[in-house]
Structure 1
Amino acid sequence: MTLISDRTIGFVGTGAITQALVRGILRNPALAGSVIVSPRNAETAGALAAEFSDLRVASDNQSVIDGSETVFLAIRPQIAEEVIRPLVFRRGQRVISIIAATERQTLLEWIGTDVQLTQAVPLPFVEDREGVTAIFPPDEFTAALFNSLGTAVQCETLEEYDLLAAASATMATYFGMMDRVIDWLEHKGMPRAGGRQYVSALFASLSQVAVRRDDVPLGHLSKEFATKGGLNEQVWMDFDRNGGTKALLDGLDRVLARIRG
């Protein structure tokens, strides 16, 4: 990827998503010339430095800003303001914020300098360059980076971006539903390892169908995989009628409200 192959990317914050992004960016062939990470999480930063020769741990957050053409802000929203306000950014510097539930205008106020700011919602799959990432506003550089890490979805409006951020909050529910099915199988006498092997492969296959047949409405696929009067139809109807759909939509509404403050 020629856009950033000769550049240095910095990360202020070294949590799980930073770790996934760094591994995705620096895996062979690397997408950047080098990476700088902040020392806040010494264990994670040290592990990444041991893993990649093109990565160094900065002495402090300001050193990350000073040494990078592109800076990721990867900080928990609870402490974001106190971390960002003391930092001095260069005019026109490219900044990509992956801070949750924090408005663009608020970030610009904290930064206090005219930077090229993009917001993104990367997911852990970027480590394997399989992630789908929502970005706002549309930006050629940021889209190219995340297309190299999987797929970038450029949002034309903040409303679209917030909606996709809310939809991404269903990941734990996805795995939780799988876990409940495996628990049920084990309770009924199925060895847990066999139940997990089966259910994981089943859900993975269904996801691939949704990706491959993206021209078919998911409601149609649901009917296609549910024989009239059959077992799949029965479970879906029980789920829907007994509050499953309502609980899901209510949860999404509450997450969206939280994102929008």
Structure 2
Amino acid sequence: MTSEEDMVKHIGIIGVGEIGGALVTGLRHGGGAAPEVFLSPRGARTAAELSDRHEGVRVCADNQEVVDRSGIVILAMRREQCREAMTGVHVGDDRILVNVMAGMGNDELRQTLGTRAPLVRAIPLPTVRERRSVTVVHPSHPEVDALFARLGGALPVTDEAAFDVLSALTGTLTTHYAYLATLASWAVGHGIAPDDADHYVRGLFQGVGRSLGDESRSLDRLAADHETPNGNNERIRTTWFDPANAEALAKALDGLLADLGQSRRR
């Protein structure tokens, strides 16, 4: 790689799971010039399917080839797989490594790889496939920021402690889905057909998602604007999501945050 422009034109992804696949889809769709993408042979079936589906996506013979062909290399495997996957792989100082492995700090990754290449942590979410994910990054790096800006937005933070706080928030995603499933199950228990309950709950909260796009209103303001005094929404909020419930959520997040910090410092 001879220039910054070449770097962003050649993206390598090692670890082609849910996030790796979403990154490929996001990078190759949505208009504009798309970078070439080089995939690890790990997860061979998924990698082959992505290569067949998208022009400009190639599966490499091994992880060294991914690194050699790419200016920016995204490490998207699980933390415990990193040492095995990268054993014997030389990462030149002219590459940029993007670490999306939960619980692995940049200091640990640098020690594992023995490289002086720039390292950037990131938290891409599955919605990068539709270019709708705001991705937290640390530290800020112009090429990496630009990469995630095209996938929905980059949110650089100043240190890994702040990174851990936002990482903890991502741990609430499946709780949200479980909450919606609980609502649908409650409706079914009161005689609503399962398909109808599922369809209605999805439609109800898709509307919430669209409201969140209005960044001119704070989250508290959005809640107030959707609530009538003494109405149904206020009743559920004050009787179910009461101070004790909110405190329990904060306590769970505090526990997760502490574990993320300990994991990073090992």
Q: Does the alignment reach a TM-score above 0.5?
A: yes
Amino acid of the structure 1 residue aligned with 2:226: F
Deviation at 1:5, TM superposition (A): 8.8
1:89-123 per-residue CA deviation (whole Å, 9 max, x = no partner) reads 01121111111111111111112121021110000
Alignment correspondent of 2:10:
8
2:27 paired with 1:19: no
Count of paired positions: 259
My pick for the range that moved more, 154-163 or 100-109, is: 154-163
Give the 5 Å matches for 1:187-202.
Answer: 187-202=189-204
**Contact 2:41 2:59 (C-alpha < 8 Å) held by counterparts:** yes
Alignment correspondent of 1:119:
121
Pick the aligned partner of 1:42 from 41, 44, 51: 44
Q: Which runs of 5+ in 1 are unaligned?
A: none
Deviation at 1:146, TM superposition (A): 0.8
Give the 5 Å matches for 1:1-261.
Answer: 3=5, 7-27=9-29, 29=31, 31-212=33-214, 214-241=215-242, 243-261=244-262
1:167-189 per-residue CA deviation (whole Å, 9 max, x = no partner) reads 11111111111111011111111
Deviation at 1:126, TM superposition (A): 0.5
> TM-score, normalization: structure 1?
0.91
RMSD of aligned residue pairs (Cα, Å): 2.0
Deviation at 1:156, TM superposition (A): 1.8
User: Which contiguous aligned blocks of 4+ residues in structure 1 show a shift greater than 4 angstroms?
Assistant: 2-6
**Contact 1:7 1:33 (C-alpha < 8 Å) held by counterparts:** yes
**How far apart in 2 are the matches of 1:188 and 1:149?**
42
Q: Which runs of 5+ in 2 are unaligned?
A: none
> SS at the partner of 2:134?
strand
**Contact 1:239 1:245 (C-alpha < 8 Å) held by counterparts:** no
Identity %: 29
**Contact 1:5 1:33 (C-alpha < 8 Å) held by counterparts:** no
> TM-score, normalization: structure 2?
0.90
Deviation at 1:3, TM superposition (A): 4.7
